[in-house]
Structure formats: structure tokens, C-alpha cells
Chains A and B, each alone.
Chain A
């Protein structure tokens, strides 16, 4: 016991100052891309040609769909004019599928739930995670939010064991046909009102498995999705930002 206390004292308080301060991210982390369509040379499709998931298109102006994006940066490397630049901005969560498409510097970030729903939730938000066919990296970075570094509990958010206890389902993975029924049943077992959060490129649009006949293409193919959190996998800061945005819990410094 004494040893445990001594080690606890030695390791100290380790919860990060986010969201009061921005998260500290390594220089090579690829955050939300900034697009400058005015730099695109006429008839240049270099970005779209190298994209593994057809996330970048030029038809109708340069656009990058964060929902499909694997954040491999093949597009920006191929771009001869620097029209695609990766920022260190971790904020990417949106309320609609359409809003995940970047066309310039800004995107329409997720708005908070309406006051009626927020009042209903009070200071607690219980999430049931459903893993459906991804690579388990999104799950890992959801899990990390429960560690003392991120301490999800201080926001009243908790990952719960049963859908019966949940306010929201957090879905990861491209939802294989073999998992579709289990996902539907988990949703059915969740009491209304209930939200669905799609985390990662797989859950939003199939990710690297898009087009495989073994999958259904993501959470939205089965359920109504209320929050889209892009990434492959999304950084924990991106996931937490999305959740706090939904609950209107972000201070001005990181909003």
C-alpha cells in the first residue's frame, strides 16, 4: 500500500490540460486539411488520381471528403501547386455527412444538441461502443479516452457495458454483413432518445474496405448517424472534441 502511494506520488497528476488548452500534437500529425482551389491548374487531376479512396475530387471544384479520407497525404504530395495543406487542427467532427467535405479552410463543425436533449441528458452522457469490422485502431483510441491522461469521466461521459444504459452508440468499422444484425439489435436495445456516433473512415464510408462485398459500407447504411468523426483512426483529441462539441462543453479556447 505504501509502495502504491509512493509510486502514485512519484508519477504525479497526469491528466492533460485539454480542453482548457489545445492538445499538444507532434509536428507530423495530419490535422484537418486546408484547401485552396484557386491554386489548381486547369485540367490537373493529380490529387484525385493518387487517392486510395476517391476522397479527393476536382469535378465541381477541389473537394476533399474527410469521411472517406485515410489521411495518407498522397494527394498533397502529388499536388504540383500546394493546393492541399495539412494543418495541425484536430477539430473535424460534423453533424452531417455533407459537412465532412472540405472545400476551403473551414468546415461546418458539429453543433451542440438542442437544449431539450441536453437538458434531458443533464451532466451525464453514457456511450455504448459497437465495434463492427474495422482494424481495432479506432477502438484503441476511443479506449484511451478513459485513461487518466484524458479522463473522460470528468466530462460526465462514460463508456458503458450495456446498450440499455446508453444514451448513444459509438460505432467503429465498416459494418460487415456478418455484423449488421448485431449492430441493429444493439441499436434496438438502446432506449430512446438515442444518438449514433460514427468514428473513423470505416464507420463513415467504409474506409480502406469501401466497395468490398463483405461490408455494408459503414454505420449510416444501417442507422441514422448524428455525429461523424473523421480519421483513420481519428486522434483521441478529435474524438473527444466531437463529443464535447455535441454536449456544448468546450471552452472558448478550444472551440
Chain B
């Protein structure tokens, strides 16, 4: 049992909404804290207006059971904030406040997340008038005062080819006392659009939630729809989805390691990895014609096959690329001038990572064994087991090293899957979603876990569509990693997390 106030659900499945128990908000908060105290983590909090109140649905990951736990409670215009007891909820509560105009009383830093109007006209958490303009990042910022303290503001437009965001540092000389990150410039209404999306458009919205995680998000989207409609992708499709997901991981990890090398001025590995990342993207294009995996994953299966010649070409090219990746990365990790810059920079302790609810590479680099491929396996990962790669130092080195470990393990996994591709079809018809159900699909993308929570109304129409990109959990981790660092180490720390702005801003 998941507890008196929670329902148990397996990743990639759905259950009737009525089976998720309703309880009071305070009781739900107690339940959440108890579970988190015993090893669970917060995967999602989503709001849905019910008459004049808001129903808040919570999803917890319970790794020790390999299941998810769902609960819900109704809240009015104000409710007691969960954040003081559960810091991992801080962004979710800010999001609830912004989207639905509710106020979590006692939230330590209740600011907008994406700078848009409330989705419930007449309800605004900051009592802004309907005609007040809402400008991005025009809000309160934490400030350190002192004669020698100065503030550095960066962005939204940055120096590189990077997404927009605003970073504000409180510094004493080079020393960073505090970093506050304000986003929302990439907000394009994509999560809200998934609610009432033209069925022709929905899959493209899923593909563009975060372009570098197209396969992860699209797989989560499709698995959720399959769970709601009682559909099932055939084994061959699940294997091809897994291959594409691991290719996505390989390309991004190799690219990140090259960029980290560049940020410490180690040009050989930067040059090698830049090219190798492109070569890995070309493998995805070999599968589906697009370097980011567009048009591949579809409800019910996949749209492209890996015929024997294509599979063997893919395998052979991957081996060639890996040889060069190994050469490039051994060079990186054997260079003392690199290690001295990586080690001890931007550390996040495992207790802080747990408290903030970090996920993915960032969590594993702080020693947390969090990887839904192993914890909540769905699709091909039920059969192909992936060891969880962790390191314990929580610094830039750890985040680089975990990526290198994962590159090696993903490569083995792709080779294994290519060698034993299941036979059979590529797709089955995905039936329309059943009414009054809730599905949760979690996929371990290269950055971390992607969560899609979808609830239908009695007519089978989508009533709640919540997307949680791993970046939503992790941006605060970057802010904390910068404490007591040199401001000149910001690019290096930032790259070691390499979080998504568009996945956060939605």
C-alpha cells in the first residue's frame, strides 16, 4: 500500500481518477513529507480548477517499491505552503500560484515562474489588475547589501548561442554570495496548448517541449496516451525508442563533455567532441531522417524501422565514433590542468541534492541513485537493465564523470539492442483515451527524468496535462552550486548542469 491517502501506480500505466483518494491539503502534505522522509521524491504537482477551488494532484516516485504514488487535495484561494517542510516543492508551488492564482501561505520566495497571466481570470496570486502589464523578470530579487558588495546581472541575451535567461549574482569581489536565476523568456504556452491541442499538432508540441530531448519527451507523451487508451507499442517499437533515447543521451553527453573542455580552455577535446556530437546526431538521422529524432516516436509505436542493413550500419558507425570519443575523453580526464579546474568546483552535497529534489545527471553526480530507467523501468528498459552511474563528489568533475560513465553504458545498451532487435510490427493503433483516468509516464532523458501527467475528463478529453522537464527540478541546484564560488566559474558550472530553458519555460 502506498499509504491511506495515496494510490499506487506503475510508470506508464493509468488508473481511474476515482481511485486516487481525496484528502485534506494538510493531510496530503503530511503524507508527502512522510514518504519523502523514507526515500520518495516529488515528481509533479499539478493543479486543475474544480468549480471555484483548485484540485492539486501530487505524484511521488517511490524507488524502493518501483512505483509511483498519487494523491490529491482541494485547496481554496490560500493554503499552507508545503515548501518549508519540503523544499523540493518550491517551484511547483510558485507554478501553482502563477497558473491558478492561489497563494501558498508561508512560501519563502513566492515569485512568478514564467511571467504570464493566471489561467483563471479573476484569480491572481499577486493581486495584479487585469490591465497591469507583466514583464519578464520584473520582480523581486534577493539582494546582499554592503559597501563592497556588488551585483552582476546577465541576460536574457547571452554571449553564446544559448537560450535566454536572467542571472543575477550578489558578489564580493570575485566571490559569489548568491545567484538568483529568473526565467520565462522562452514561455510559449506549449503545456497549456497540449490541453486542447489540435490532434494533428499535439505530437509536434511534444517534440518541441525541449528540442534536445525530443525522444524523451515524445516517448513520455506517447506512453501516457497509450496508457490512457489501453494501447501498447510492440516490442520492436519499444526497442527502437530505447535506441533513439540512448543515441540522444550519447550525443548530448558527448557534446556537453566537449563544451566543458572548452570552458576550461582544453581545446583538443572541445574540437573532437564538437564533431563527434554531430556524428552521433547523424546516427539519429540515419534512423528517422532528423538529427533530433523528429517524426520517429508516435502513439502506438514508431514510424521508422531499423532494417538489418540499417541496424548494422548504425552499429558499425557507433563503434567508430566511440573509439574517437574514448580517445577524446581519456585525454580530458588524464589532463591535470583540466582536473584541477573540475575538482571541487560547484559542489552540491548529497543532502542538499536530496532536499532540493534534484534529478538526473546532477543528482547522480551528488551520489543519489536516481534513474527511472532502473527505478521505474518502462518499455524496453523492463528487459534491458541499465546500471545507475553515480559519483559522490557533487562537483563539476562528478557531473562530467557521470556523463562519461553513462556514455559507455548507453553504447553497450545500443549495441545489445541492435544485436537482438525483437521481431514484429512497428506500431499498433493507439485507441482514444478512456474517460476519467490519470496516466503518468516517466522517461529518463539525458538530463534526467521527464514526467508527463495526463488526466482525462469523463468524455476522454484531456483535462490536465502536466509536463515536468528535469530542468524544472534542477535550476535551483545550479544556483546553490554557485555559492562561494568565483563568478568566473559560472560558465563552467552552468555547462556542467546544462539545463533547458525551454523545457522549464514551456
Within A117-164, the residues touching B (CB, 8 Å) are 129-144, 146-150, 159, 161-163
Chain B positions 275 through 288: 1 when the CB is less than 8 Å from some CB of chain A, otherwise 0: 10111011001111
Once the chains bind, are B290 and A71 in contact (CB under 8 Å)?
yes
Once the chains bind, are A30 and B163 in contact (CB under 8 Å)?
no
Instruction: State in angstroms the CA–CA spacing of A144 and B161 once bound together.
Output: 10
One of A129, A135, A139 near B208 (C-beta < 8 A): A135
Interface status of A215 (Cβ within 8 A of chain B): yes
Q: How large is the interface on B (under 10, 10 to 19, 20 to 34, 35 or more residues)?
A: 35 or more
Q: How far is the CB of B484 from chain A (nearest CB, A)?
A: 27
Across-interface contacts of A163 in B (CB, < 8 A): 157
Across-interface contacts of A53 in B (CB, < 8 A): 201, 204
Interface status of A186 (Cβ within 8 A of chain B): yes
One of B164, B328, B331, B334 near A179 (C-beta < 8 A): B164
Q: Which of A5-13, A37-45, A95-103, A243-251 contacts B (4 or more CB under 8 A)?
A: A5-13
Once the chains bind, are A134 and B185 in contact (CB under 8 Å)?
no
Interface status of A73 (Cβ within 8 A of chain B): yes
One of A142, A161, A233, A235 near B211 (C-beta < 8 A): A233
Q: How far is the CB of A7 from chain B (nearest CB, A)?
A: 5
Instruction: State in angstroms the CA–CA spacing of A178 and B452 once bound together.
Output: 25
Once the chains bind, are A72 and B294 in contact (CB under 8 Å)?
yes
Within B199-220, the residues touching A (CB, 8 Å) are 200-201, 203-205, 207-212, 214
Instruction: State in angstroms the CA–CA spacing of A246 and B163 once bound together.
Output: 25
Q: Contacts A7-B328, A137-B214, A139-B162 known; A148 to B200 CB distance under 8 Å?
A: no
Once the chains bind, are A207 and B328 in contact (CB under 8 Å)?
no
Once the chains bind, are A132 and B164 in contact (CB under 8 Å)?
yes
Interface status of A225 (Cβ within 8 A of chain B): no
Within A182-235, the residues touching B (CB, 8 Å) are 182, 186, 207-209, 212-215, 232-233, 235
Once the chains bind, are A133 and B275 in contact (CB under 8 Å)?
no
Interface status of B274 (Cβ within 8 A of chain A): yes
Once the chains bind, are A176 and B188 in contact (CB under 8 Å)?
yes
Across-interface contacts of A134 in B (CB, < 8 A): 186, 208, 211, 502
Across-interface contacts of A233 in B (CB, < 8 A): 211, 291-292
Once the chains bind, are A212 and B193 in contact (CB under 8 Å)?
yes
Across-interface contacts of A147 in B (CB, < 8 A): 271, 274-275, 277-278
Q: Contacts A7-B328, A26-B289 known; A178 to B157 CB distance under 8 Å?
A: no
One of A51, A129, A213 near B189 (C-beta < 8 A): A213
Q: Contacts A50-B200, A133-B186, A136-B500 known; A26 to B211 CB distance under 8 Å?
A: no
Once the chains bind, are A70 and B136 in contact (CB under 8 Å)?
no
Q: Which residue of B lies closest to A209 (CB)?
A: B188
Interface status of A4 (Cβ within 8 A of chain B): yes
Chain A positions 6 through 36: 1 when the CB is less than 8 Å from some CB of chain B, otherwise 0: 0110110010000000000111111000000
Interface status of B160 (Cβ within 8 A of chain A): yes
Instruction: State in angstroms the CA–CA spacing of A11 and B326 once bound together.
Output: 11
Instruction: State in angstroms the CA–CA spacing of A130 and B155 once bound together.
Output: 11
Once the chains bind, are B200 and A214 in contact (CB under 8 Å)?
no
Interface status of A116 (Cβ within 8 A of chain B): no
Across-interface contacts of A11 in B (CB, < 8 A): 272, 324, 327-328
Interface status of B295 (Cβ within 8 A of chain A): yes
Once the chains bind, are A135 and B161 in contact (CB under 8 Å)?
no
Interface status of B63 (Cβ within 8 A of chain A): no
Instruction: State in angstroms the CA–CA spacing of A131 and B162 once bound together.
Output: 7
* Interface of A toward B, CB cutoff 8 Å: 3-4, 7-8, 10-11, 14, 25-30, 50-53, 70-74, 129-144, 146-150, 159, 161-163, 173-174, 176, 178-179, 181-182, 186, 207-209, 212-215, 232-233, 235-236
3 shortest interchain CB distances as A-B pairs: A137-B211, A28-B289, A135-B211
Chosen A-B contacts, 15 in total, with CB atoms closer than 8 Å, are A7-B268, A28-B304, A29-B285, A30-B289, A30-B290, A131-B161, A133-B187, A133-B188, A139-B163, A147-B274, A173-B186, A178-B116, A178-B185, A207-B208, A208-B208
